[in-house]
């Protein structure tokens, strides 16, 4: 039987968008002659999205619905979909048709050619105001610089092979960040460029607050750079204290300072240095704990060489087996 492709899409209050989405995907995937399943995750919608999903599931056995008990947010919804996907390859796509489904056949082809992760990167950034665009760019650049996980122009629209998906699902962390973790796992990757469309109906669900949360989540789960920063500031302040302290002492010895002032300055410098360095030390330990607590696998295997059927069993092993009998 040909390989099964799962398409996972999170859905939150998309209403009639659900029908549009299912129709468009069935067309694209059917035309490409793929064996597929659609995993639609209802992220606690308060409109009729779930009813629509159920209708589609009844009409077409290739459509499967998963309903979360409340709105958990896009990241957990995607994770739920990934855990329920049965395919040999899994495509994650937004249900608002901003990610062009027409790219899926090309992504599947890349996977057949040996890629484990196929990322769709944006050629453009439509549907966002200037501030959103600037903010997104800035965040992605900062993230890429701090964590070595490349986010510039990245989207959540990606295909993962079964082994890449299994690796991803091995990550036990609570606040997952799909774009980051799916890059962190490594694996042979391939990139295709897509044009991000305007949203068809409805409005973006992101508020400034939820985007900010996502940014903070992403950063804190990928880097302890802010903690190391405290150490650096502490060291810089220590150096500054030595200079200022020396100057104050020299002035005091020469008798050119107001009575009592050198004591105050020196005390401030000494205390400031100790506090900052102390915080830095705590930060370094916290960074270690942070690393351990995430409990990420220390390595991931991409492939293992196949064992040839005709390989003779090494003689030693045969002998051991005989000895045991
Ligand atoms: N989404 C979700 N839960 C949420 C918010 C969004 O499952 O709490 C889904 C939404 O239905 C859509 C995708 O995540 O399929 C992207 O959401 P949206 O279009 O609002 O974000 P944007 O495209 O602006 O990044
Ligand atoms: Mg969208």
Instruction: Answer yes or no: do 189 and 247 share one domain.
Output: no
Ligand index nearest the alpha carbon of residue 156: 1
Torsion of CA 218, 203, 46, 40, to 10 degrees: -70
Instruction: Give the tens place of pLDDT for each residue, 198-216.
Output: 776 666 767 778 778 877 8
Write out the two tokens for 241. Answer: 């204290």
74 lines ligand 1 (CB under 6 A): yes
Instruction: Answer yes or no: do 140 and 28 share one domain.
Output: yes
75 lines ligand 1 (CB under 6 A): no
Cα(127) to centroid of ligand 1, in Å? 13
Instruction: Answer yes or no: do 154 and 260 share one domain.
Output: no
Instruction: Answer yes or no: do 190 and 246 share one domain.
Output: no
φ, ψ (nearest 5 deg) of residue 8: -105, 130
Instruction: Answer yes or no: do 14 and 96 share one domain.
Output: yes
Q: How many domains does the chain divide into?
A: 2
71 lines ligand 1 (CB under 6 A): yes
The better pLDDT of the pair 141, 103 is held by 103
Residue 77: enclosing H or E segment and its boundaries?
helix 74-84
Instruction: Answer yes or no: do 155 and 253 share one domain.
Output: no
Instruction: Give the tens place of pLDDT for each residue, 74-113.
Output: 999 999 999 999 999 999 999 988 899 999 999 999 999 9
For atom 16 of ligand 1, the residue with the nearest CA is 94
Instruction: Answer yes or no: do 16 and 46 share one domain.
Output: yes
The answer to whether the CB of 118 falls within 8 A of the CB of 159 is yes
Host domain of residue 254 = 225-294
Instruction: Answer yes or no: do 287 and 302 share one domain.
Output: no
Instruction: Answer yes or no: do 142 and 288 share one domain.
Output: no
Edge-to-edge order in the sheet of strand 158-161: 63-67, 35-42, 4-11, 89-92, 158-161, 117-122, 189-194
Whether 213 is in a domain gets the answer no
Write out the two tokens for 218. Answer: 């992403």
The answer to whether the CB of 190 falls within 8 A of the CB of 110 is yes
Instruction: Answer yes or no: do 13 and 48 share one domain.
Output: yes
Mean pLDDT, the chain, integer: 85
Whether 215 is in a domain gets the answer no
Instruction: Give the tens place of pLDDT for each residue, 24-51.
Output: 999 999 999 999 999 999 999 999 999 9
Instruction: Answer yes or no: do 52 and 38 share one domain.
Output: yes
Instruction: Answer yes or no: do 188 and 128 share one domain.
Output: yes
Which residues sit opposite 160 in a β-bridge? 90, 117
pTM of the entire structure? Answer: 0.76
In this structure, how many other beta carbons lie within 10 angstroms of the beta carbon of residue 131?
A: 9
128 lines ligand 1 (CB under 6 A): no
pLDDT band at residue 60 using 50, 70 and 90 as cut-offs: very high
């Amino acid at each position: 039987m040909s390989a099964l492709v799962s398409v996972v899409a999170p859905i939150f209050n998309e209403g009639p968008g659900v029908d549009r989405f299912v129709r468009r995907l069935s067309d694209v995937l059917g035309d490409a002659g793929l064996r597929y399943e659609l995993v639609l995750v209802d992220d606690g919608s308060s409109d009729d999205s779930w009813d629509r999903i159920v209708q589609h599931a009844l009409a077409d056995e290739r459509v499967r619905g998963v309903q979360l008990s409340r709105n958990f947010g896009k990241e957990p919804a995607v994770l739920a979909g990934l855990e329920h996907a049965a395919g040999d390859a899994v495509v994650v796509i937004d249900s608002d048709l901003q990610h062009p489904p027409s790219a899926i056949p090309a992504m599947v082809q890349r996977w057949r050619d040996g890629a484990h992760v196929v990322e769709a990167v944006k050629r453009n950034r439509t549907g966002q105001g200037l501030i959103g665009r600037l903010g997104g760019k800035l965040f992605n650049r900062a993230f890429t610089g701090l964590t070595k996980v490349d986010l510039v122009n990245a989207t959540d629209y990606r295909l993962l092979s079964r082994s890449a998906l299994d690796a991803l699902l091995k990550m036990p962390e609570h606040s997952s960040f799909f774009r980051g973790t799916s890059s962190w796992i490594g694996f042979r990757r391939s990139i295709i460029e897509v044009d991000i469309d305007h949203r068809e109906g409805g409005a973006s669900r992101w508020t400034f607050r939820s985007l900010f949360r996502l940014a903070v989540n992403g950063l804190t789960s990928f880097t302890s750079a802010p903690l190391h920063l405290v150490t650096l500031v502490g060291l810089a302040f220590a150096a500054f204290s030595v200079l200022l302290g020396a100057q104050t002492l020299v002035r005091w010895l020469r008798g050119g300072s107001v009575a009592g002032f050198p004591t105050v300055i020196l005390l401030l410098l000494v205390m400031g240095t100790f506090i900052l360095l102390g915080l830095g030390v705590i930060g370094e330990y916290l960074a270690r704990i942070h690393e351990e607590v995430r409990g990420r696998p220390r390595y991931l295997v991409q492939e293992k060489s196949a064992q040839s059927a005709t390989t003779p069993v090494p003689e030693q092993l045969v002998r051991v087996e005989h000895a045991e009998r």
